[in-house]
Amino acid sequence: MIHLDTHVVVWLYAGELRCFSPAARRRLAGEELRISPMVALEMQYLHEVGRISENSGVVLADLARKLGLVQAEGDFSSVAEGAVGLGWTRDPFDRLIVAHAALNGATLLTKDRSIRRNYRHAVWD
């Protein structure tokens, strides 16, 4: 099982496979794909401000059908509690996405260098 950061989901939906390293492509092909509900919320925000063309429901339904992408398990209170201690970022989306992956003991696929520096189970290459 691997959790996906928001930009990973957006690139998958857009078919932007060139954005992924060879190692990231292997992980995507060989793991069960999960997202935090915060990824859906962040994508909806990006849609509302015009950064992505489709709403999060359309994107996630498509990737669920094509790739088996599902929402990760986890109690929101526990995720939020874990996010409180992540003072290395001011981004609430990143805090909750990382905290959810950590709660599940999961690897997080992200190109974000700050997340990779601060969450030992974050990978890209």
Across residues 104-119, what is the average pLDDT? 97
- From the list 58, 62, 64, the residue with the least C-alpha distance to 44 is 58
Residue with tokens 């290459």: 125
One-letter amino acid of 74: G
For residue 9, which amino acid is it? V
pTM: 0.95
For 75, counting Cβ atoms within 10 Å of its Cβ (0-12 exposed, 13-18 middle, 19+ buried), the class is exposed
What domains can you pick out in the chain, each with its CATH number? 2-123 (3.40.50.1010)
Q: What is the pLDDT of residues 33-86, one digit of tens each?
A: 999 999 999 999 999 999 999 999 999 999 999 999 999 999 999 999 999 999
Q: Is the model's pLDDT at 125 over the cut of 90?
A: no
Q: CA-to-CA distance for 46 and 63, rounded, in angstroms?
A: 17
